[in-house]
Chain A
């Protein structure tokens, strides 16, 4: 059984007749980090939501962990741009919400502890979301998704609403988490720099057509340096696709 995530001929036409995604083929190998870049409205969120099982595909099939995707599943976690933390739960309660229902209270507590440590927010465990900075909220949201132990993490512009410095910090932290947890990540972003910094491969979407223009390998070793020649060259290649 393959632990890869396989998309075959995925298309989506909404009830209002808008075709957001058309004939997408992509295989995410287990443990791979793939970024999805493209202009606003090209269908990135739609594609991600279909993989997450929140939106049915009009055509094609999605296979995760050897199983056909027909709805949401704990094998696929999601992180949204608007952190979506529950304002009535504290940081640790929000993270505990991510834990599986079958966990015993002690196992749950242990998992919360572990994930609090992972995002470095132990001293904010009792804080409510409104008492956190934007970066802390997004970290907590990430921890909640990870607490469910997904194999694939789907992230829709998770750092889009953050300032540039916080974003760079969180990118580095995300890479560490990804290496530690050995999960597959599919991350949607507008930020070409972010994609080159994070990804093993970058899928570039065409505006309005809902298709891939290109899927690019990123042959740079980690940790990556944003000012190094290879990085700059790749960034330029990507920019040229848009402008």
Chain B
């Protein structure tokens, strides 16, 4: 890498880290002055110490891994269905018309509102938790896929028509690639929602998972553990999104230069 590019990256990272650093310093300082009650808001140092202890005992990793597995299972189902149904509806005006009322009715229902009914239907096992996550990740993938497919440039479709391409070639070589950036946006938002709804899903009488860890710590009045859990959710979410972003730019190299 060129030194100038390196420097640019460095100063960008510095700028991004500045605000969090200032806020945490302020927080630590206020705690140090005794202005924040530790039972409500422990100091950053205490939280870091607790986090480190939880890591050393393997407790934090255990809960994280369990939550991650749930998120990936739920995402796989939700995003998979969203992709397939989105493709079908994006391609067919008639299907869109037939399902329009239903989707517009279902879409505004918050994911969390499904929890009681899912417990009723599926009990309190893994099934209902995974389903909540699946519902959460379904919508962004579904809606973005429809939009991506519908936005395929008609000029490209004309090229395929002139060359008398069969439907499946049209779909795999023209429509799908052209919709892929939009689909990927759906994946990223969907994954974000899936991860965010894990706490909601683990409200369903879980005995493990990062959401359970937070809830349990609140019940036994361990605010530092609660905040470690919250921070772990934030950091893991960031890591997943960064990974997806990397995957996207690797798969869609052509897209970075398209106006």
Contact A74/B163 with A87-B254, A88-B177 known, Cβ cut-off 8 Å? yes
Contact with A along B158-171 (1 / 0, CB 8 A): 11011111100100
Q: Is B155 touching A89 in the complex (CB atoms < 8 A)?
A: no
Q: Is A54 touching B162 in the complex (CB atoms < 8 A)?
A: yes
Interface residues of A in 109-130 (CB under 8 A from B): 128-130
A87 to B177, CA, bound (A): 9
Q: Is A97 touching B173 in the complex (CB atoms < 8 A)?
A: yes
A88 to B174, CA, bound (A): 9
A102 to B141, CA, bound (A): 35
Q: Is A72 touching B258 in the complex (CB atoms < 8 A)?
A: no
A62 to B174, CA, bound (A): 29
Among the stretches A33-41, A76-84, A184-192, A220-228, the one at the interface with B is: A76-84
A52 to B156, CA, bound (A): 15
Q: Is A72 touching B161 in the complex (CB atoms < 8 A)?
A: yes
Contact A54/B158 with A88-B254, A101-B169, A128-B254 known, Cβ cut-off 8 Å? yes
Residues from chain B with Cβ under 8 Å of A131 in the complex: 257
Residues from chain B with Cβ under 8 Å of A97 in the complex: 159, 163, 165, 173
Q: Is B173 touching A86 in the complex (CB atoms < 8 A)?
A: yes
| Smallest CB separation, B158 vs chain A (Å) | 6
Determine if A98 is an interface residue (Cβ-Cβ < 8 Å). yes
Q: What DSSP secondary structure best describes chain A's contact surface?
A: loop
Residues from chain A with Cβ under 8 Å of B252 in the complex: 88
A78 to B162, CA, bound (A): 7
Residues from chain A with Cβ under 8 Å of B165 in the complex: 97, 101
Residues from chain A with Cβ under 8 Å of B178 in the complex: 86, 88
| Smallest CB separation, B147 vs chain A (Å) | 18
Q: Is B161 touching A54 in the complex (CB atoms < 8 A)?
A: yes
| Smallest CB separation, A216 vs chain B (Å) | 29
Contact with B along A144-158 (1 / 0, CB 8 A): 000010000000000
* Most-contacted residue by chain A among B162, B165, B180, B254 (CB, 10 A): B162
Determine if A73 is an interface residue (Cβ-Cβ < 8 Å). yes
Residues from chain A with Cβ under 8 Å of B254 in the complex: 87-88, 128-130
Contact with B along A199-243 (1 / 0, CB 8 A): 000000000000000000000000000000000000000000000
Residues from chain A with Cβ under 8 Å of B162 in the complex: 52-54, 72, 76-78
Q: Is B177 touching A86 in the complex (CB atoms < 8 A)?
A: yes
Residues from chain B with Cβ under 8 Å of A87 in the complex: 254-255, 257-258
Interface residues of A in 46-66 (CB under 8 A from B): 52-54
| Smallest CB separation, A133 vs chain B (Å) | 14
| Smallest CB separation, A61 vs chain B (Å) | 20
A73 to B254, CA, bound (A): 30
A131 to B257, CA, bound (A): 9
Determine if B253 is an interface residue (Cβ-Cβ < 8 Å). yes
| Smallest CB separation, B163 vs chain A (Å) | 6
Q: Is B258 touching A86 in the complex (CB atoms < 8 A)?
A: no
| Smallest CB separation, B238 vs chain A (Å) | 29
Interface residues of B in 233-259 (CB under 8 A from A): 252-255, 257-258
Q: Select one of A78, A98, A128, A148 contacting B253, CB under 8 A.
A: A128
Residues from chain B with Cβ under 8 Å of A54 in the complex: 158, 161-162
| Smallest CB separation, B161 vs chain A (Å) | 5
A128 to B253, CA, bound (A): 9
> What would be 10 A-B contacts, judged by CB atoms less than 8 Å apart?
A54-B162, A72-B164, A73-B164, A78-B162, A84-B159, A86-B174, A88-B178, A88-B180, A101-B166, A128-B257
Q: Besides A80-B159, A88-B255, A101-B165, 15 other CB < 8 A contacts?
A: A52-B162, A54-B161, A54-B162, A72-B162, A72-B163, A72-B164, A78-B159, A80-B155, A84-B155, A86-B156, A86-B178, A88-B252, A89-B177, A101-B166, A130-B254
Residues of B within 8 A of A (CB): 155-156, 158-159, 161-166, 169, 173-174, 177-178, 180, 252-255, 257-258
Query: What are the nearest 9 A-B pairs in CB distance?
Result: A130-B257, A88-B177, A88-B254, A72-B162, A128-B254, A78-B162, A87-B258, A87-B254, A72-B161
